[in-house]
Chains A and B, each alone.
Chain A
């Protein structure tokens, strides 16, 4: 088991977020966690990263080498784009490597910019570059394309698919189209407290049909 939630319960203030929640991820690949906004998807990522401790149950991880795109960009405002990415890489990375990756994310020539001078979409792509370049076994992505314009999004998705290989990737999204375009498996969650509704294997040959099915399932829920 690579990531396992065993009967996890969590209460945040008055709200019961999880009750006996279980989930096992056995293979590497991209998993899309899909559900309506505010249902607790991000909470699952926070539990994996240890920011929250469950009230009951157990979370097991096969590795603690994690990289992430958080709900917010969380870039260090006093460091340049290059410094932000290099610092989180867990290995020495040169400017050329970072520049090449940024180019693949439609963002050339911003290595020496400070995060404060970037637009929301650009800062998001820096956060994505930081997570992709970091040597990690688990990649957690919380709506990684938020604020990225449509023209760049497709290219960013391709880059993500190319560079996430060999890792267990959890992609949190409320967009069935995004999940179907990127993921190997879709995990539908919802309800309060959060429940696992269904898992769906995405057929790489017919991602469009998978997107339709995911949309239908979400509406049915």
Chain B
């Protein structure tokens, strides 16, 4: 069985084209403003122009080490993200079942939410090897978000639907599969989407502060130290592109999975 997780507004091809044109236009307008600002400042050390940044990006793309760097950062940050998603779901389910566990988990999750990420990065530098830093920080940032959202989704499950399920003999597994999980799914997906961006930003910040070698963060740090502003801009662009790309990939995967389940269960 599946559920309809997203319902898109029907758009005509013309409307679609207009929406794409608007987006491209907005990006070009901001690029133009950037170009004009760089020209007005006229100090490449302070503001690299779009052209210089693009040249630097192309030069990075020709270097095989660039891909290794990106992959290392991606692996660590996504590792932290997925571990946090799994742990967050577990924490949410346990919190639903026990008042004590809910109170027990609320304390550390509240502390993590209220503490600045920089404090954790510095603490983690004391506790952990720097190679594990971004994984740990991404995990820490995403965990409270997923746990909180999924718990909220589970708590807000319609009690009348649960009664219906019990009357029709769904059983414990059936109630979870057909009622609790679909109810919590929008909350889960929202948490994943937000968490992905958070994990990425916090993970790269951890790499910068921890000067983790062979990572995007380290490249950003080195570019700043050696005053290679176009490189700094280029690596920042890489971070942005990867963040947007991952978010798009995630949305696409959710849609594909939804379609697959609908087809499978439609019988």
Which A positions have Cβ atoms within 8 angstroms of B? 49-51, 65-68, 70, 72, 74, 76, 78-80, 82-83, 87-88, 90, 94-95, 112, 114, 130, 134
Contact B168 A67 (CB under 8 A): yes
Given known A90-B169, A112-B266, contact A78–B3 (CB-CB < 8 A): yes
User: When chains A and B are docked, how far (Å) is the Cα of A68 from the Cα of B161?
Assistant: 12
Contact B164 A74 (CB under 8 A): yes
Determine if B83 is an interface residue (Cβ-Cβ < 8 Å).
no
Q: Mark B74-115, 1 if CB is under 8 A from A, else 0.
A: 000000000000000000000000000000000000000000
Contact B168 A78 (CB under 8 A): no
For A79, give the chain B residue with the smallest CB separation.
B1
Interface residues of B in 119-176 (CB under 8 A from A): 160-161, 163-164, 166-170, 174
Residues of A within 8 A of B182 (CB): 76, 78
For B3, give the chain A residue with the smallest CB separation.
A78
Determine if B4 is an interface residue (Cβ-Cβ < 8 Å).
yes
Closest Cβ–Cβ distance, residue A144 to chain B (whole Å): 14
Q: Identify whether the interface residues of A are mostly helix, strand, loop, or mixed.
A: loop
User: When chains A and B are docked, how far (Å) is the Cα of A67 from the Cα of B167?
Assistant: 6
Interface residues of B in 159-198 (CB under 8 A from A): 160-161, 163-164, 166-170, 174, 178-179, 182, 185
Given known A79-B1, A83-B1, A87-B1, contact A49–B265 (CB-CB < 8 A): no
User: When chains A and B are docked, how far (Å) is the Cα of A80 from the Cα of B182?
Assistant: 13
Closest Cβ–Cβ distance, residue B158 to chain A (whole Å): 8
Contact B161 A88 (CB under 8 A): no
Residues of B within 8 A of A51 (CB): 163
Contact A78 B4 (CB under 8 A): yes
Residues of A within 8 A of B2 (CB): 78-79
15 A-B contacts, Cβ less than 8 Å apart?
A65-B169, A66-B167, A68-B168, A70-B163, A72-B160, A74-B163, A74-B164, A76-B179, A78-B3, A78-B5, A82-B266, A82-B267, A87-B1, A87-B178, A90-B169
Find the residue from A76, A80, A112, A134 having the highest chain B CB count within 10 A. Answer: A76
Q: Within the complex, which residue of B4, B167, B185 is in contact with A68, where a contact is CB–CB below 8 Å?
A: B167
Contact A134 B160 (CB under 8 A): no
User: When chains A and B are docked, how far (Å) is the Cα of A130 from the Cα of B31?
Assistant: 58
User: When chains A and B are docked, how far (Å) is the Cα of A87 from the Cα of B265?
Assistant: 11
Residues of A within 8 A of B163 (CB): 49, 51, 70, 74
Q: Within the complex, which residue of A50, A76, A94 is in contact with B161, where a contact is CB–CB below 8 Å?
A: A76
Contact B179 A70 (CB under 8 A): no
Contact B178 A95 (CB under 8 A): no
Contact A134 B178 (CB under 8 A): no
User: When chains A and B are docked, how far (Å) is the Cα of A87 from the Cα of B160?
Assistant: 16
Residues of A within 8 A of B1 (CB): 79, 83, 87
Closest Cβ–Cβ distance, residue B1 to chain A (whole Å): 5
Residues of B within 8 A of A68 (CB): 164, 167-168
Contact A114 B4 (CB under 8 A): yes
For B4, give the chain A residue with the smallest CB separation.
A78
Closest Cβ–Cβ distance, residue B181 to chain A (whole Å): 10
Contact B164 A70 (CB under 8 A): yes
User: When chains A and B are docked, how far (Å) is the Cα of A72 from the Cα of B161?
Assistant: 10
Closest Cβ–Cβ distance, residue A29 to chain B (whole Å): 21
User: When chains A and B are docked, how far (Å) is the Cα of A51 from the Cα of B4?
Assistant: 29
User: When chains A and B are docked, how far (Å) is the Cα of A51 from the Cα of B161?
Assistant: 12
For B168, give the chain A residue with the smallest CB separation.
A88
Closest Cβ–Cβ distance, residue A53 to chain B (whole Å): 14
Closest Cβ–Cβ distance, residue A70 to chain B (whole Å): 7
User: When chains A and B are docked, how far (Å) is the Cα of A78 from the Cα of B266?
Assistant: 12
Residues of A within 8 A of B265 (CB): 83
Residues of B within 8 A of A79 (CB): 1-3, 178
Q: Mark B236-267, 1 if CB is under 8 A from A, else 0.
A: 00000000000000000000000000000111
Interface residues of B in 1-23 (CB under 8 A from A): 1-5
Closest Cβ–Cβ distance, residue A79 to chain B (whole Å): 6
User: When chains A and B are docked, how far (Å) is the Cα of A130 from the Cα of B179?
Assistant: 16
Closest Cβ–Cβ distance, residue B246 to chain A (whole Å): 26
